[in-house]
Amino acid sequence: MTKSVLLILAGAAFAFASCQKKPAETSDAAQADSTGAPVETQKANSDYKPAFPGQTRIGSVKSATPYEGKVLNSDLKNPWGITSLPDGRLIITEKAGTMRIATTAGVVSAPITGIPTVDPDGQGGLLGIRVDPDFAQNRMVYWVFSEPRPDGNLTSVAKGKLSADEKKIEGATVIYRATPAYAGNLHYGGRILFDKNNNLIISTGERSDTVTRPQAQHLNSALGKVLRITKDGKPVAGNPFEGKAGARPELYSYGHRNVQGLAFHPVTGDLWEVEFGPRGGDELNRIEPGKNYGWPTITYGIEYSGKKIGDSIQVKEGMEQPVYYWDPVVSPSGITFYSSDSIPEWKNNLFIGGLSSMHIARLVIENNKVVGEERLLSSEGQRFRDVTEGKDGALYAVTDQGRLYRIYKK
């Protein structure tokens, strides 16, 4: 063996050992917890390589605290969004166009009326939901839905007042439409959050088809974006593209495929999102204002047909790398950070509802890097559409099959 070959092998061994070292900024708890093999064992769809160590297939973690996932109700009809009311009950959207209120014991109300017509075909319907931070005083509810229009359909945002008897929405008004409309039934995005200033963060999809896909990169389109608007549907002053010619002032970030998960980190206040990749390449991103997240120019996925996407590149200057990605996909939908003291080891972890993967993913995140992954409730065989932290410190999740779960410390 030549001296040069020995040097190469030695260098490779050093590099491998360096990659195995736990980041210096990782907490001791995470270090002790992140020693297992990656939870994903299936072959990737592509031969693409991560841009940095730990960007995919991180070591597994396992919760030491005993927990239980209890089915509270199995009679919901394609639930899509879930969030808490101030009194701890839950308000849930159902895809076909209804809302229901559920107690934490699983008692579900009759459908709430007064909601504008939705287009429920394909991936459309009544989608994400949040209540006004001042709900106790004004009883206002905000939601996202796929709205039928003369020229197709689009992702829209509406608001209305929940009546005192909780049977109807009063004065429902559409406050924002993510134009242009398109005659398709895929990739609406559809999540909604309130930020610390009581503005709305909205996610949209790029409507999937190859003719609309490029609009994720266009600043004059609301497709494939994260948006920031006021409670009246206007662009928030100080948005990153305010005053820029040819750009919509409501845009907050762009280059997204289909964002179905949005959450603020409870300590840093950073905005995080998850979005669907095609065949491979589901992403977790930390959103910064004005940044370009790459789709469809860069991706870690391939077409469903197996063909490459675009120029088949994963890295490009001026485009953000995902903090983490999955291949094969987990089909990430609703997300929430855990902030309760009920299960201390879960604190500040991110929980992600998985559709095709049929589990809830738990990600341990330290200093904006994923340092551990766990799969919860994978034996349930459910497509987990959304997950939220309740007022009682438990997690509540809804599934496409109609179940409402409470996940809590035993």
Q: What is the pLDDT of residue 7?
A: 35
Picking from 310, 289, 162, 166, the residue whose alpha carbon sits closest to that of residue 235 is: 289
Picking from 178, 176, 81, the residue whose alpha carbon sits closest to that of residue 127 is: 81
What is the DSSP-derived secondary structure letter of residue 390?
A: -
Q: What is the pLDDT of residue 35?
A: 67
Q: Strand order of the sheet with strand 152-162? A: 126-131, 140-149, 152-162, 169-182
Q: What is the CA angle 303-56-278, rounded to 5?
A: 15
- Contact predicate 177/154, CB 8 Å: yes
Whole-prediction pTM: 0.92
For the chain, residues with pLDDT lower than 70 are 1-35
- Contact predicate 279/329, CB 8 Å: yes
Q: Return the active site residues.
A: 187
- Which domains does the chain carry? 26-409 (2.120.10.30)
Picking from 326, 388, 379, the residue whose alpha carbon sits closest to that of residue 104 is: 388
**Residues 58-92: tens digit of each pLDDT:** 999 999 999 999 999 999 999 999 999 999 999 99
Picking from 164, 150, 160, the residue whose alpha carbon sits closest to that of residue 126 is: 160
